Structure 1
Amino acid sequence: MSLLEKSKFPLLKLPWHVLLDCIKNLDFLEIIDFSLVSKRAKRIVKRITISHPIEIKLSIFVDGFEIYLESKHFPGHTWMVVFGNVEEIDVIKRKGSMLQQMLIGPQVEFYLIFPLDLKYFQFLIQHISDIFQVPIREVNIEKPTFKLVELICSLQKSIPIFAIFGKSKILNKTAKLIFKRMQITESCYLKSEFSNFFKFDQLINCRCLKLSNGSRVPLNAILSSKNEILRIENSRLTHSDFNSILKHWKCGKMPNLNYLEIGMSQQHWLIDDYDDLNEQMFANLDFEEHQPDPRRPTHLWFDDDIILEMPVDHAYDIIGDDGSIGTFRLTLYREGDDHFRGLTFEFHVWGGANK
């Protein structure tokens, strides 16, 4: 039920300054609901300066869509525009939108609910971004399809934060759209597997990138990456590849790199082979045991919510040709008495003029 229909109050007939004061005292969802009444209502809303900056985040699930509005001035408050199959869906279909709120401990959530409709979802994203005059900050997709990714690309030129959190496989056509056309500026997290036909010629050029299924990411894609923070899980690289990465960085060929993390699992190395594997990684490298240094950062931000702790114990340092320091560590995970089940390679760059 829309705001005006529910109240039956002739809001638009109020004197101009009184009308503006009334609208300024509405919450974010009430402002959205009011702006949908007419073109005039939208024009009025756009003339109001919102005193508390907001961020717009999207979550696209298999069975529904959500638009989140958050403001640092209201911690613990979330305003959500929800498209989905809810209990009151019959009421919504007859009378339009519906406002609700829910108190969950110290958190409070406000809801503006609509029937499931992809086209109207797209319209409302653009409408909300327009009336509040802020871009979309974050997009999360459960099951990526070409149509959904194309929709996201059409909304604005670039997206600061993008994530695919579902486990379904990304088809070749969709993967190409994500890697070739999408402009992601801050962080990207891709949990899904990729089609066997997709080739990782180059990685997404964003500040932070995490791939949960990196078994098909080749060494060359990592060496040519421009990411500051790069995290790859389920990789199939070798200890010799780690050696190549360290040498490549030492020569100044990965100038943007701040932190690299590569995880390998479901591979078995015999404990008796441990020394041979280390020799492959350390071959022809000048390094020394890492010593604590107060100049070195202990944590890095991956995105708005995730903080990474830098390796300290059992780590080694190498010096780059530009004077920066690279601290690396290899952690092996033991399984049984005679073999390892996986490992994590970490490499933190610090101490240079640009770090």
Structure 2
Amino acid sequence: MEIAKPFPILKLPFLVLIDIVKNLKKLEIIELSLASKKCRLIIKSIKIPNPGVDFKLVTSTELSQTANDGRVPCSQQQFNYLTNYLKLRTYDIDGADITVEFERAWAEYVCDLFGNNISSLIFDSNISDLDLASLSNWINKRQSTSKMRLCRLYGDCNDSDSISQFFGARTFSIYHLSIQLKFSSKVTPINFGTLDMDEFVAQDEDIKHMPNWISVESVLTSNCVRIWIELCPFTATDLNRIIKGWINGNNSRLEILHLAIKPFDLDQFVEGIEYEQREFDLLRSYSWNSDVMFRREVTIRKGFDIVGNDGTVATFKIENRRWNDERLWDFTLVVWKNGC
């Protein structure tokens, strides 16, 4: 059997080498950078297209499963090289001893290699010994001017305090915040501070325990463009406060608010709110550009118009739907920034 000879890639003309590197996948570029210091310096000198860096903190179980199914083809040699380069102690690659310290150092290495900041942060809130406030402060320092495209939290949530500490320490900007936590019945709402991201999405499929994602006060003081919450415990009184808050000038950036909630008293909801019911044949659509949200368009038939104190018109609608044999209402509020 003929043994393949090494290919002297570094002896190629530099312009040819640039084209080769630009056509490699991100993981292939990282692997090439680990070959030698010269490779790393060459890659750093090349402007890589779309060099977004995704940072995911996983549990030991997840890391072992990922390595076993081949999604992250890594080797002990690569980890040893990285460990030596970062001047850290040796860590096993089966997930048993990999710590947040190593993962941060790994993220710093990749960000430095591509000359970019972290574009997405995804983590399981149940990772043991994970200091979320410290994690938030680390990101604050390393990308004070760059907006993170995506921040996603997932896993079981039995205590919201540590998550609240993460957002309490946060000063970095987020475009899309996704919460995919399974709340236990006694968990208090997460304190997000000021919701100033463009998109906030919270999802759960367990209707037995309506998750306390967020407080009414957080919605009232938010500065989000789009808020989309599946399974929400808000009441008619809560929605009445939110609508009146918008009318009085809260969250001038808001374009859409969607909540999946249990049926409520309509008279209590509209108390003190002036509205106009529109004709059945009237169809209006709101669409938006997003590379993260699964929905990018909402169509409202008929609906009820309200007018803010600044003259801006918004429309709310309520629709029935079934969820695991339970009856829910989809409440949607659309603000027509460019007229309706």
Please name the residue that 1:130 is paired with. Answer: 112
Q: Which deviates more from structure 2 when the two are superposed, residues 322-331 or residues 202-211?
A: 202-211
Amino acid at match of 2:41: R
Q: Does 1:161 align with 2:150?
A: yes
The 1-side partners of 2:110 and 2:230 are apart by 36
Please name the residue that 2:266 is paired with. Answer: 278
Please name the residue that 2:13 is paired with. Answer: 18
Unmatched tracts of structure 2, length 5 or more:
80-92, 204-209
Amino acid at match of 1:131: L
Amino acid at match of 2:333: F
Percentage of pairs with the same residue = 18
Amino acid at match of 1:154: W
Q: Does 1:309 align with 2:297?
A: yes
Please name the residue that 1:227 is paired with. Answer: 224
The 2-side partners of 1:228 and 1:65 are apart by 35
Which of 318, 327, 338 lines up with 1:341 in the alignment? 327
C-alpha RMSD over aligned residues: 3.8
Unmatched tracts of structure 1, length 5 or more:
1-5, 67-81, 98-113
After superposition, give the CA deviation of every residue in 1:213-272 in whole Å (9 maximum; x if it has no partner).
64263322211111111123332222122222222211222212111112224xxx6xxx
Aligned residues: 300
Please name the residue that 1:49 is paired with. Answer: 47
Q: CA deviation at 1:130?
A: 1.8
The 2-side partners of 1:96 and 1:334 are apart by 51
- Any conservation in 2 of the 1:235–1:263 contact (CA below 8 Å)? yes
Q: CA deviation at 1:318?
A: 0.9
**Aligned in 2, Cα 1:120/1:176: closer, same or farther, shift over 3 Å?**
closer
The 2-side partners of 1:253 and 1:285 are apart by 15
Amino acid at match of 2:312: S
- Any conservation in 2 of the 1:252–1:322 contact (CA below 8 Å)? yes
Amino acid at match of 2:275: F
**1:84 partner SS:** helix
Amino acid at match of 1:33: E
Q: Does 1:254 align with 2:237?
A: no
The 1-side partners of 2:322 and 2:69 are apart by 48
Q: Does 1:92 align with 2:75?
A: yes
**Aligned in 2, Cα 1:302/1:237: closer, same or farther, shift over 3 Å?**
farther
Please name the residue that 1:190 is paired with. Answer: 179
- Any conservation in 2 of the 1:228–1:258 contact (CA below 8 Å)? yes
Please name the residue that 1:37 is paired with. Answer: 35
**Aligned in 2, Cα 1:64/1:278: closer, same or farther, shift over 3 Å?**
closer
The 2-side partners of 1:7 and 1:23 are apart by 22
Q: Does 1:319 align with 2:307?
A: yes
Please name the residue that 2:130 is paired with. Answer: 147
The 1-side partners of 2:120 and 2:240 are apart by 36
Please name the residue that 2:198 is paired with. Answer: 207
**Aligned in 2, Cα 1:233/1:90: closer, same or farther, shift over 3 Å?**
closer
Q: Which deviates more from structure 2 when the two are superposed, residues 31-40 or residues 193-202?
A: 193-202
**Aligned in 2, Cα 1:308/1:281: closer, same or farther, shift over 3 Å?**
farther
Q: CA deviation at 1:208?
A: 0.9
Please name the residue that 1:263 is paired with. Answer: 260
- Any conservation in 2 of the 1:263–1:345 contact (CA below 8 Å)? yes
